[in-house]
């Protein structure tokens, strides 16, 4: 108990000393249109529908097409997609909540409300047999996987690289147990672009300044809430908190750059964690496809979802590395953990992991908090970004590494720590570094 009290007192002290930061001036809008409020959507009732959205012929003059003057009221929808949607809404009496294009899949998607008195299942059954419809499904909800336990004390001391001068690094259980400081002798994630799909992030946090390249809000237009969001701030700190700055903590890959896609939010008045839905996650994944992000961190999950699966398959086909947190119940049948090629991460435990599942520290992880502070957090949401950071270290050394090779490296280089087999950043990085030297 005395050790716990001392740790909590230390956290309170460092939070009191945190530097108050000005609001970040980053873009927090969605992809080119006003952001619909995801919190207003009803996952018990609403549906997601997609129609084909082929590229229309070039316009003959402003506001026209070869089909004649017919400006689309649907943002990003071609003339044929707009006409199809209008017909479907009239035919079924549905009301649109919002819509958005997914260029990578040649689809235009909408969130719709079924007509009053019509069961959602009945509507989906009818739409499934309508040849105008490419996809029709329920609007699903998703959760982040984190909790806030009391810290159990600092980890055992490990060797530190000489340049590590971040004052609270010794309290970072995951950083110490994975020997990340030793890995930094060869790589700090320079040049690697990581996308975080999560809540918002305190981009002005002193330990995240310079690490965040851009931010995007797929949930709403509330910039203040974006800055206050805790879960994404925690994930960002584990991955890439600035190192060697005489302040706070250090990330697993402190030279990596981050893009943040807010797809999850905290429901008003609820004590539960953040939630996401099909709409917000689909917008985030579609946006990532158009970027050069090499690693995607998904510390969240939920039911299988046809639209999200299509987007994830496209991302994996593009050669991106996708790191996903295992659900607390260990079920790997939903999104995103059931997609072949996704690297699934659980919290390290004494019991052996399922085949192919990577184990990483996830209990009592000291990381960044909104308002420039620090605190402990636990769950597979914290385990996954440790692995994301290690993937960034590896890609910085060998940019052509694919997901399968990185997955195998993570498993083969894992070591026993505290009686548990878990990833080891130093071992993985040293393996790649030695191979690179051999090839020179």
Residue 107 half-sphere exposure, CB side, CA atoms within 13 Å? 22
Of the residues 140, 184, 216, 231, which is catalytic?
231
Q: Nearest to residue 107, comparing CAs of 232, 264, 286?
A: 286
Q: Nearest to residue 285, comparing CAs of 252, 318, 330, 241?
A: 318
User: Residue 419's pLDDT is what?
Assistant: 86
211 CB contacts (<8 Å, ≥6 apart)?
Answer: 236, 240, 241, 242, 251, 254, 256, 257, 258
Rounded CA gap, 203 and 375, in Å? 17
* pLDDT tens digits along 275-321: 999 999 999 999 999 999 999 999 999 999 999 999 999 999 999 99
Rounded CA gap, 147 and 125, in Å? 38
Phi, psi of 360 (to 5 degrees): -150, 155
Query: Is residue 8 predicted with pLDDT exceeding 50?
Result: no
The CB density around residue 306, as the number of other CB atoms within 10 Å, is 15
Beta strands in 8-94 (DSSP E): 47-52, 64-65, 68-69
Residue 4 binned pLDDT confidence (cut-offs 50, 70, 90): very low
Find the mean pLDDT for residues 393-413. 97
Length of the chain: 440
Of the residues 46, 166, 179, 198, which is catalytic?
198
Q: Nearest to residue 390, comparing CAs of 354, 360, 346, 415?
A: 360
Is 231 in the active site?
Answer: yes
Pull the structure tokens for residue 169.
Answer: 């690094």
Q: Nearest to residue 342, comparing CAs of 332, 350, 351, 352?
A: 332
- Cα dihedral 230, 234, 240, 246 sign: positive
Helices (H), 68-111: 79-92
Rounded CA gap, 249 and 181, in Å? 12
Pull the structure tokens for residue 53.
Answer: 């959205």
101 CB contacts (<8 Å, ≥6 apart)?
Answer: 53, 75, 76, 77, 107, 108, 109
Is 380 in the active site?
Answer: no
Pull the structure tokens for residue 114.
Answer: 């079924």
Is 61 in the active site?
Answer: no
DSSP at 171 = G
Give the domains, in start order, of the chain with CATH numbers: 2-11+144-439 (3.40.50.200), 44-139 (3.30.70.1140)
User: Residue 156's pLDDT is what?
Assistant: 40
Please indicate, yes or no, whether the overall pTM of this predicted structure exceeds 0.75.
Answer: yes
Q: Nearest to residue 20, comparing CAs of 382, 428, 373, 415?
A: 373
* pLDDT tens digits along 238-276: 999 999 888 999 999 999 999 999 999 999 876 678 999
Residue 72 binned pLDDT confidence (cut-offs 50, 70, 90): very low
Of the residues 381, 396, 413, 417, which is catalytic?
381
Mean pLDDT of the chain: 87
């Amino acid at each position: 108990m005395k050790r716990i009290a001392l740790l909590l007192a230390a956290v309170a002290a460092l939070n009191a000393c945190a530097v108050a930061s000005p609001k970040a001036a980053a873009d927090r809008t969605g992809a080119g249109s006003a952001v619909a409020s995801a919190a207003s959507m009803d996952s018990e009732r609403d549906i997601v529908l997609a129609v084909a959205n082929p590229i229309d012929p070039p316009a003959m003059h402003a506001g026209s097409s070869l089909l004649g003057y017919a400006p689309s009221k649907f943002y990003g929808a071609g003339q044929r997609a707009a006409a199809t949607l209008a017909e479907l809404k009239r035919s079924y009496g549905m009301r649109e909540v919002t819509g958005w294009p997914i260029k990578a899949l040649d689809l235009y998607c909408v969130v719709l409300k079924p007509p009053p008195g019509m069961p959602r299942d009945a509507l989906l059954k009818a739409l499934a047999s309508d040849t105008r419809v490419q996809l029709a499904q329920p609007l699903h909800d998703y959760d982040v996987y984190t909790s806030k336990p009391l810290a159990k004390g600092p980890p055992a001391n490990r060797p530190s690289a000489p340049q590590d001068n971040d004052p609270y690094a010794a309290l970072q259980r995951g950083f110490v147990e994975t020997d990340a400081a030793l890995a930094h002798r060869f790589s700090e994630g320079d040049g690697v672009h990581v996308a975080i799909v999560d809540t918002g992030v305190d981009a002005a946090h002193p330990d995240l300044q310079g690490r965040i390249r851009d931010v995007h809000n797929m949930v709403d237009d509330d910039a203040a809430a974006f800055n206050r969001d805790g879960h994404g701030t925690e994930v960002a700190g584990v991955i890439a908190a600035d190192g060697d700055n005489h302040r706070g903590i250090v990330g697993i890959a402190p030279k990596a750059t981050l893009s943040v896609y807010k797809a999850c939010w905290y429901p008003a008045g609820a004590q539960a964690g953040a939630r996401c839905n099909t709409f917000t996650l689909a917008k985030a994944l579609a946006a990532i496809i158009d970027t050069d992000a090499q690693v995607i961190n998904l510390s969240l999950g939920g039911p299988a979802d046809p639209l999200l699966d299509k987007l994830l398959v496209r991302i994996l086909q593009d050669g991106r590395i996708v790191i996903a947190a295992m659900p607390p119940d260990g079920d790997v049948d939903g999104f995103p953990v059931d997609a072949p090629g996704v690297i699934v991460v659980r919290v390290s435990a004494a019991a052996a992991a399922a085949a192919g599942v990577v184990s990483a520290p996830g209990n009592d992880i000291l990381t960044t908090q909104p308002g420039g502070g620090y605190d402990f957090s636990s769950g597979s949401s914290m385990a996954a970004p440790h692995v994301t950071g290690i993937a960034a270290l590896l890609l910085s050394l060998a940019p052509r590494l694919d997901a399968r090779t990185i997955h195998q490296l993570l498993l083969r280089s894992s070591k026993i720590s505290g009686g548990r087999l878990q990833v080891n950043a130093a071992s993985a990085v040293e393996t790649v570094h030695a191979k690179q030297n051999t090839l020179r």
